[in-house]
Structure 1
Amino acid sequence: MLKEFKEFALKGNMVDLAIGVIIGGAFGGLVNSIVNDLLMPVIGFITGGIDFSNKFIQFSGDPKSTLTAAREAGATLAYGNFITLLINFLIIAWVLFLVVKALNSLKRKQEKAPDPKIIPRDEQLLTEIRDLLARKKR
């Protein structure tokens, strides 16, 4: 049973999946940094200094000035966090689209490139005919 588990755990697909998950975690941190540190300040500048992460609508209790205080006071709709996560999602989706598009392009190029070892049948026959004619001339 231990041998079977070892074969299962060390299969190429399983290792590839584990590597993908680890890289995905690092990629998620990178995207969060891009959104929070690069894009949101620019969007905030364009919109006149609006900080989306603290945008909310408070439904109950006294109006509060911070999101944390509003959440403690009662029902609060934190739409700013949703906007930030939506931008994260769109960036991730766009980058993955570009990666998949690039991989598909490379795959198409490899499929179009003829294999130098494989000679078409008609060329093989012509080569044989040439060789036979060359032998007869001798």
Structure 2
Amino acid sequence: MLDEFKKFALRGNVIDLAIGVVIGAAFGKIVDSLVNDIIMPFIGALGGVDFSNYFIGLNSGITATTLAEAKKQGAVLAYGNFITVAVNFIIIAFVLFLVVKGINTLQRKQKEEPAAPPPKADDVVLLTEIRDLLKQKTV
């Protein structure tokens, strides 16, 4: 059973998947920072709002003005966070669309370019020359 697991774990697809997950996690952090630190402040400045503190208190006793304080006081519906996550998703989806579109364009270009004939081996070249010489002598 250990040998089977080792074969499975060291199979190329599993390693590729693991690398993809790690890169995806790092990419997610980059997009989170892009949205939270760059895009949302501009959107907030345009409307004078900060989406991260938009919430609705589900308990009647919530008097806090920030989301962190409100969560300490009781249950809240943090729709501002949802807006941020939705913007994250749209950005990630758009970037992945551009990546897939770029890869498809590269693949189409590779298919359009004719492949150069493989170089002939030395013995094939030599036999071709001998054949051509024999044809010249018999004519």
TM-score where L is the length of structure 2:
0.78
Uncovered stretches (5+) of structure 1, i.e. residues with no partner:
119-130
Superposition deviation, residue 54 in structure 1? 0.7
Q: Does 2:68 align with 1:68? A: yes
CA distance in 2, matches of 1:114, 1:53: 54
Given that 1:56 and 1:80 are in contact with CA atoms closer than 8 Å, whether structure 2 keeps it comes out as: yes
Q: How does 1:1-138 map to 2 (within 5 A)?
A: 1-48=1-48, 50-62=49-61, 63-117=63-117, 135=136
Uncovered stretches (5+) of structure 2, i.e. residues with no partner:
119-131
CA distance in 2, matches of 1:34, 1:13: 31
CA distance in 1, matches of 2:19, 2:58: 44
Worse overlay, 61-70 or 24-33: 61-70
Superposition deviation, residue 74 in structure 1? 3.8
CA distance in 2, matches of 1:3, 1:71: 50
Instruction: Label 1:2 to 1:58 Cα distance change in 2 as closer, same or farther (>3 A).
Output: closer
CA distance in 2, matches of 1:73, 1:34: 30
AA aligned to 2:54 is K
Superposition deviation, residue 137 in structure 1? 9.5
How many residues align? The count is: 123
CA distance in 2, matches of 1:31, 1:5: 35
CA distance in 2, matches of 1:37, 1:74: 27
Given that 1:61 and 1:74 are in contact with CA atoms closer than 8 Å, whether structure 2 keeps it comes out as: no
* Secondary structure in structure 2 of the residue aligned to 1:25: helix
CA distance in 1, matches of 2:137, 2:116: 29
Worse overlay, 109-118 or 98-107: 109-118
Superposition deviation, residue 101 in structure 1? 0.6
Given that 1:61 and 1:73 are in contact with CA atoms closer than 8 Å, whether structure 2 keeps it comes out as: no
